[in-house]
Amino acid sequence: MHTFPTYRRAPLTFVRGEGAWLWDEAGHAYLDFVSGLGVTALGHAHPAVVAAIRAQAGELLHVSNLYYTAPAAYLAEALTRLAARQSPEAGRFRVFFANSGAEAVEAALKLARRAGRERGGPAKHEVVVLRDSFHGRTFGALSATARPVYQAPFEPLVPGFRVVPRDDLAALRAAVDPARTAAVLLEVVQGEAGVWPVSRAFLQEARRLCDTAGALLLVDEIQTGLGRTGRWFAFEHGGIAPDGFTLAKALGGGLPIGALVAREPLACLLGPGQHASTFGGNPVACRAALAVLQVLEEAGLVQRAREMGERLAAGLEGLAARHPRVRGSRGLGLMRALALEGGAPAVAEACRQEGLLVNAIGEDTLRLLPPLVVTEAEVDDALARLDRALARVGPPRG
Ligand SMILES: *Cc1c(COP(=O)(O)O)cnc(C)c1O
């Protein structure tokens, strides 16, 4: 191997995909309930995404942000319209384009610093984050990622982050301070930590505290956004309107792209020269993203994620009744976790042998992120494979 040993990979090489299915070199088919970690929401090789990429690649690949291109302009318009529709009380929005999730988070953190300074001077720079959060691997995003295993080897981190436990309203009230707090940054469902939804009461309290403290409420929708949870954006489950939110994973249909969408008066605080990205707003990635948004809307995939999510959740509860290793399930829409009594890597491996791809998180969690185009038959098929895999691994010892 010639790459850094940063990834723990399964011994599989994929050569082709279509819809919810992947094929390896030997021609074996796998039902893909990982979706490239929530990226391929339209499934593999969706014709609309393929056509958009092919067309744009033949016209224009890159010109830099010294100039305009139509795909970035249309995508920004589409995203701001979507944000305003799903969050009408927040007014108008603007978009900054990045190339990944972590970069979108960096833009959000810089916006928080700018807004804090504007409203309360340099002391108002703290960002309140949740324990077990995940916001990315660059230094700013890593500093917002309150997980010692990821942070400790790379200290010192960026200063100015304050950590509160998820759903601890008293800790949140104690942490948000008008003189110090620039922003609260959170995921509505903590994905990398194992699919842990944040309570509606906590989200609403965060919104209220940010309003009274003059702080921004920033929601990381990189994994949850664009229909994954059965709503366009997960913040809708909380009945809250954020000041800004990040997108990435599903946005480009498989091409790298990230975005920070923020309320217009705030967005204008990052002026010329204050933030930039050479590749940000790449025409091919933006044209692919436009196709993704169009298919999500026209095929009603957000509603579909809600319906298929309910079917999947019911099936997972059924597995809990049949297998002593299964404790239960949690999640929203098509972002689901199966809670196990240990052995998650062994169950994921057994699933692979049954032709089903799932993601093990630690010893006790399987994460399921099927594409939003998944059919009823495919959900049932995946549940049958999971059932056989659990039988193969058997009950926990002791
Ligand atoms: C995946 C993820 C990120 C990081 O995205 P990258 O593209 O890997 O930098 C940030 N936040 C959340 C919630 C994520 O799920």
DSSP output for 209-260: HHHHHT-EEEEE-TTTTTTTTSSSSGGGGGT---SEEEE-GGGGBTB--EEE
Q: How many CB atoms within 10 Å of residue 217? A: 24
SS3 336: strand
Supply φ then ψ for residue 266, to 5 degrees: -70, -50
Q: Among residues 150, 155, 161, 156, which one has the least CA distance to residue 112?
A: 161
Beta bridge partners of 19: 44
Q: Tokens at residue 219, please?
A: 């929601």
Q: How far is CA 98 from the centre of its chain?
A: 15
User: Is 220 part of the annotated catalytic residue set?
Assistant: yes
Cα angle 104, 109, 113; round to 5: 145
* Residue appearing with tokens 């995203």: 79
pLDDT at 264: 96
State which amino acid sits at residue 39.
Answer: V
The single-letter code of the amino acid at 332 is: L
Q: Report which ligand 1 atom has the smallest distance to the Cα of 258.
A: 7
Nearest to residue 396, comparing CAs of 346, 336, 337, 321?
346
pLDDT at 90: 85
Q: Is 136 in the pocket of ligand 1 (CB under 6 A)?
A: yes
Question: Please, what is the angle between helix 47-59 and helix 283-298, to 10°?
Answer: 150
For the chain, give the percent of residues with pLDDT over 70.
100
133: Cβ–Cβ under 8 A, 6 or more apart, which residues?
Answer: 144, 145, 146, 147, 185, 186, 187, 190, 193, 220
Overall residue count recorded for the chain in this entry: 398
Q: If phi over 0 gives left and psi between -120 and 50 gives alpha, with beta otherwise, what is residue 361? A: beta
Q: Would the pTM count as exceeding 0.95?
A: yes
Q: State which residues of the chain have pLDDT below 70.
A: 398
Q: Is the CB of 195 under 6 A from ligand 1?
A: no
Collapsed DSSP state (helix, strand, coil) of residue 50: helix
Which residues contact residue 137 at a Cβ distance below 8 angstroms, ignoring those fewer than 6 apart?
Answer: 102, 145, 150
The pLDDT value given to residue 57: 98
Evaluate: CB of 106 within 6 angstroms of ligand 1: no
pLDDT of the residue at 13: 97
The CA–CA distances, whole Å, from 249 to 136, 254, 285, 290 equal: 12, 8, 12, 14
Q: Is the CB of 107 under 6 A from ligand 1?
A: no
4 among known catalytic residues: no
Mean pLDDT for all residues in the chain: 97
Cβ pair 35, 45 in contact under 8 A: no
pLDDT of amino acid 397: 84
Residue with the smallest CA separation from ligand 1 atom 11 is: 135
Question: 263 in ligand 1 pocket by Cβ < 6 Å?
Answer: no
Catalytic residue (choose from 134, 161, 233, 235): 134
CA 125 to chain centre: 25
362 CA distance to ligand 1 centroid (A)?
Answer: 18
